Each structure stands twice: as C-alpha cells, then as structure tokens.
C-alpha cells in the first residue's frame, strides 16, 4: 500500500512575483551488487532501477512535487493531490481552502486538519478569523477490513474575534463540531466496537499582554461541553453553576455531556540580566476539544524557569523546577506526582573555547487514592541525566581544527526496594572527537573515539535478579577530499567497534567509500561501496555483507 504525503501550500504577497510556471527536477538511474554470508539476504543480489522527481512551481510561491520509482525492488508514485490545500495571503487577509490546519488557541482550535474553507483578517489591530469544514470523514467497517474502527462524519466551525498585535492581544474563540448520525453506510454489529456520535462546544480566551515594560502576562482558558453520545437522554441544565446553565442554552445537554475546564497562565519578565517565568496549568479530567488531536488531561502543574547572563553573555545560567499532579477528581485508585528540575551552565570565555553542563532530574511518585497503596506495587522513581561537553577550536584563513569531548550519564533509580532489582538502569557515554578542514583544498579529516556502558536488570534461569553490563567502544575515522575545482568528491569512512557482555565479546567493522563526479552543471555520476563484518559473539549475528552501487543523475 502506497502512503501519499500531505501537501500544505503557503502563498504570500511579494514585491515582485513571477507569472511563469517553472519545472525543476531530476532523473537518476542506478545499478548495484549485494553479497552476504547470511542465510537470509537483506537485499536483492543485483538491485537496479530508475527514479525521478518533478516540481511544478506556480505563481505566488505554490509548488507541486511529484516523484516516482521503478525497479526490481518495487515501484512507487507520489503526488500531492490526496490532500491539497492553500493559504494565499494578501496584505492583512489570509484565505484557507482545501485541507488546512489552523490554530486559534491551545484549548479550542489547535491544529486539527479539516477539509473546508476559512479566512483570517487583521486590519489594524482587529483580529478576526473563521473556518468551516469536515474534521473527520465517515469510516464504515467492511468485510475486507473487519478490524476497522467505524467513525462518523464530523463537521464543525470555529470563529475568533480579538484585538491587538501578534505580540500583544486578547482573543475570544468559539468552536462547535458535531458528528452526522446518518453518515455511516452500515451500522456496526459489535456494540463494543461502535463509536457513538458526539458533539462539542468550546468557548475560550487567549491573551498575551504587556502590563509594564518587560513584564508579560499570558493566559489561555477554555470551557468545553462534550457530549460523548448523541443518543443519550436529554436533560435540563439547572443548578447554581452559571456555566452549566449558559451552555445549556447553546447545546442540548444529555446524560453523556460533561462540562470541563482548562487553564494555562504564565507571567514572565525579561531584562538585560536574563529572564524569569512562572507557569501554572490545570486541565480537568476528560477535558477534550474536537479542534485538537490529543490533550494530557487530569493534571495540575506549577513551574518556575529562570536564566541569568554574566560578563556580556560569556557566562549563562538557566534552570527550571516544576511539580505536577493528577487524580484531580480523587476517583483513581492512586494519584501520581512528578517533580521536574533542570539546570544548565554555559561558559564561553573565548570564541575558541567553550564549556557546557546540563543536568535534569525527573521524579515520579504515587499517593493513595480510592485504595491504599501496596508497597510491592508502589511507583517511586528518580531519573537523573547529566551531560557535559568541552570544545576547543583553532581557526585561521587556511585551516580549522576542532576538538570535542562529550560525556553523558543517565540513571534510573527505583526508590521502592521491592521493585528496584527489576527496574534500575544506568548508562554512560563518552565521545572524543577531532575535526580538521583545509579551506582551499577541500580536505577534511575526522577521528572519534567512543565508549558506552549500560547496566540493565537481568533475571537468570533460577529466578535470581542481577545486573547485565554491556560495553561498546572503538574508533571511527573518515576523510573527504574535493578535486578539480570541487567537481569531484571522494569520501571514505571506517569504524571498528568492540562489544562485551559478561564473558561474551565481539566486534563489528564497517568500511565505506563514496565517489561523485559532476562533469556538467546538470549531470553527475556516483559510486558507493559498503562492507560490513559482524561478529558480536552471537552466532546469528556473525556474517559479512558487501554493497556496491553505480548511479547516473541528470537535473533540469
């Protein structure tokens, strides 16, 4: 089955636009050889074929790409017309036609793809927007695809009215969408797999305000009335809650209707010395909008982020800390709490020397909900990650030398003694690299040494818990050179990596060579060779493999 890409087009006003349709693209032919000592080949012995691409450029910045492949490994054709859309812009007006995804606010219309039309108008400080279209197409179960989950056709609209500029505004947004109960050709016989028709009305406010100099307040709030089954019995919207009574006048409330809220607030101050930002988020359980694909609901979080600059940016510090909780309604068996902290330091005393350090810590814990927690099942974990890098560079008009040293440590610590033996892991990685570039001749060299060590839980045949330690280490080297005024390019790379796990040791060697020669401005020949020797210590992974490929390409 061929998967076709989605094409989104953006046409914008330009001072000078051409009215000529232009074509560009290329055709490439290739033939190769493949040999291996494996029982099962991963390729054909003599792969060959031809592939090409054409891009049609229309006035206004619209481009249509087409591509096709034909060979003994299979054929394919790609074109953009399975989902076609355009958003032409002229001055302060933008139109949306076809398949589009538009965002009005994070909790209302937030990037859901629809097939329809819309417009956004921004004359002066007025901010207007409206879209209408099909958000989901009807899908009926068939005999050939019995596992297909049916869904109804869903149509909807969203409107926005606001005032301000892109960096300082206040918008009111409404979204309403509904499933067509008559859009399915067949009714699912299995009621457990049937998706009931739904309806949704969301009202939201989105704002970004500059109260005083350098102080910004951001707010996104929304209330969603979501009916999960339009066949449910209708009820009256009564009570002391004003939102319930008001939404009850706009939609027909039913037993399956739920009114939920989402709030996201942020306040930030930015100056020459750095910045500080406070964030608060609360999303009710089961909060949902038909204008977005996914929401992490049933959470409340608090976080603080700050950055500091010293010595004209030569020293930079940034960090953040936050807490997040779920089970807001108290109806889960257990509640989960998370703590998230990070810190980064960047030192750049000289353009040739730099040092970076980043640290992050993620904690996860549970608290009792409807039922008491059992110690053997209680989750209490801590995930630590530390990364550091040092770079040193020497530059002159003719050459460049760059040295890099990177090290990473990651560790998952289980604070529950009953489960720690089965979950605790750690990983360390060190990379030392040297890069050389000769500017005039085009000669480039690189050399890297890497070492990786991992510790993972292991249970032996007798059920005893232990730790398996894996190690991978070895050098990687490469060279590239450009000849004949950079018309000819040659690249060669090789690596020799060792691995060990307990008493088992092995090695993997790779070597590759690429050659390219552009004998005219539009024609090029290429050759590539790859050889792999694998002997990791596992019998099934002991083999040799060779690939070679010759190609010719022409562009227009």
The domain limits of the chain are 25-34+83-555
Q: Are 401 and 369 in contact (CB under 8 A)?
A: no
Q: 354: which residues sit within 8 A by CB, 6+ positions away? A: 346, 347, 348, 389, 390, 391
Residues 480-521 pLDDT 10s: 998 888 888 999 999 999 999 878 889 999 999 999 999 888
Q: 239: which residues sit within 8 A by CB, 6+ positions away? A: 245
Distance CA 241, CA 247 (A): 10
Distance CA 138, CA 155 (A): 10
Could you tell me what percent of the chain has a pLDDT over 70? 89
Residues 405-448 pLDDT 10s: 999 999 988 877 777 777 888 999 999 999 999 888 789 999 99
Output the pLDDT for position 18: 47
Cα angle for residues 260, 132, 282 (degrees, 5° grid): 20
Residues 265-300 pLDDT 10s: 999 998 888 999 999 999 999 999 999 998 889 999
Output the pLDDT for position 169: 95
The continuous run of DSSP H or E covering 243 comes out as helix 242-250
Output the pLDDT for position 495: 96
Average pLDDT over residues 510-535: 93
**What secondary structure letter does DSSP report for 245?**
H
CB count, 10 Å around CB of 141? 20
Q: End-to-end distance of the chain based on CA atoms, in angstroms? A: 30
CB count, 10 Å around CB of 179? 25
Sort residue 242 into left (φ over 0), alpha (ψ -120 to 50) or beta: alpha
Distance CA 173, CA 365 (A): 37
Residues 148-179 pLDDT 10s: 677 889 999 999 999 999 889 999 999 999 99
Q: Which of 295, 294, 364, 285 is nearest to 323 (CA)?
A: 364
Model confidence, pTM: 0.77
Average pLDDT over residues 376-401: 87
Q: How confident is the model at residue 19 (pLDDT cuts 50, 70, 90)?
A: low
For residue 375, pLDDT over 70 is answered with no
Cα angle for residues 225, 117, 112 (degrees, 5° grid): 45
Q: Are 102 and 109 in contact (CB under 8 A)?
A: yes
State both tokens at 441. 């001749």
**What secondary structure letter does DSSP report for 332?**
S
Q: Which of 179, 224, 221 is nearest to 201 (CA)?
A: 224
């Amino acid at each position: 089955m061929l998967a076709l890409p989605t094409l989104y087009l953006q046409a914008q006003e330009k001072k000078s636009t051409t009215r000529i349709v232009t074509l560009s693209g290329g055709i490439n032919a290739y033939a190769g050889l493949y040999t291996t000592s494996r029982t099962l080949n991963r390729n054909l012995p003599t792969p060959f074929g031809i592939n090409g691409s054409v891009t049609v450029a229309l006035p206004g910045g619209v481009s249509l790409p087409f591509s096709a492949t034909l060979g003994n490994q299979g054929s394919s054709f790609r074109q953009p017309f399975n989902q076609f859309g355009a958003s032409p812009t002229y001055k302060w007006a933008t139109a949306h036609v076809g398949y589009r995804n538009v965002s009005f606010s994070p909790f209302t219309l937030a990037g859901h793809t629809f097939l329809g039309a819309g417009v956004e108008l921004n004359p002066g400080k007025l901010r207007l927007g409206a879209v209408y279209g099909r958000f989901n197409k009807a899908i009926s179960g068939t005999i050939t695809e019995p596992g297909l989950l049916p869904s109804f056709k869903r149509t909807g609209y969203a409107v926005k009215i606001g005032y301000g500029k892109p960096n300082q505004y206040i918008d009111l947004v409404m979204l309403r969408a509904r499933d067509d109960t008559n859009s399915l050709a067949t009714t699912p016989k299995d009621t457990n797999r049937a998706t009931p028709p739904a309806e949704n009305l969301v009202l939201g406010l989105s704002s970004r305000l500059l109260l005083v100099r350098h102080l910004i307040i951001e707010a996104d709030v929304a209330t969603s009335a979501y009916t999960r089954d339009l066949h449910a019995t209708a009820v009256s919207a009564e009570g002391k809650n004003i939102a319930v009574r008001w939404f009850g006048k706009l939609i027909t409330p039913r037993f399956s209707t739920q009114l939920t809220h989402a709030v996201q607030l942020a306040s930030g101050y930015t100056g020459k010395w750095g910045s500080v930002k406070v964030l608060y988020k609360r999303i009710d359980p089961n909060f949902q909008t038909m204008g977005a694909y996914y929401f992490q609901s049933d959470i409340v979080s608090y976080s603080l982020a700050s950055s500091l600059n010293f010595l004209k940016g030569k020293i930079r510090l940034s960090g953040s800390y936050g807490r997040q909780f779920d089970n807001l309604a108290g109806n889960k068996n257990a509640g989960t709490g998370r703590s998230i902290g990070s810190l980064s330091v960047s030192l750049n005393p000289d353009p040739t020397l730099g040092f970076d350090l980043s640290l992050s810590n993620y904690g996860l814990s549970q608290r009792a909900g409807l039922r008491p927690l059992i110690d053997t099942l209680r989750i209490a974990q801590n995930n630590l990650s530390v990364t550091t890098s040092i770079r040193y560079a020497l530059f002159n008009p003719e050459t460049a030398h760059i040295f890099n040293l990177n090290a990473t440590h990651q560790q998952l610590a289980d604070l529950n003694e009953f489960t720690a033996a089965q979950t605790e892991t750690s990983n360390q990685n060190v990379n030392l690299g040297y890069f050389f570039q000769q500017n005039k001749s085009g000669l480039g060299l690189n050399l890297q040494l890497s070492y990786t060590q991992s510790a993972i839980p292991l249970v032996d045949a007798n059920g005893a818990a232990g730790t398996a330690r894996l190690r991978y280490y070895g050098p990687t080297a490469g060279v590239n050179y450009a000849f004949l005024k950079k018309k000819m390019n040659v690249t060669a790379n090789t690596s020799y990596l060792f691995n060990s796990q307990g008493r088992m040791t092995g090695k993997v060697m790779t070597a590759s060579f690429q050659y390219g020669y552009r004998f005219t401005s539009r024609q090029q020949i290429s050759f590539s060779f790859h050889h792999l020797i694998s002997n990791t210590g596992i019998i099934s992974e002991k083999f040799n493999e060779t690939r070679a490929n010759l190609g010719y390409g022409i562009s227009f």
